[in-house]
Amino acid sequence: MKYFGKTDIGKLRKGNQDSFGIYEIAENALLLSVCDGMGGASGGGEASKLALQAFANEIKDACASKIEDSKLDASALDIKLLLSNAAGCANNAVYKTAQANPELQGMGTTLVALFVVDKTMFSINVGDSRMYRINNGEIKQVTHDHSYVQYLVDMGKMTLEEAKKSANRNIITRAIGTGESIEADIEAIDLEEGVQDTYFLLCSDGLTNVVSDEEIAKVVSYEATPEEKVDKLIETANQNGGPDNITVVLLSI
Contact 115, 33 (CB under 8 A): no
131-148 pLDDT per residue, tens: 999 998 999 999 999 989
Question: pTM for this one?
Answer: 0.94
181-193 pLDDT per residue, tens: 999 999 999 876 5
What residues of the chain score a pLDDT lower than 70? 40-41, 192-196
Q: Check residue 67 and give its pLDDT.
A: 96
Closest CA to 189 of 136, 247, 116: 116
Q: What are the chain's domains?
A: 2-252 (3.60.40.10)
Q: Check residue 196 and give its pLDDT.
A: 64
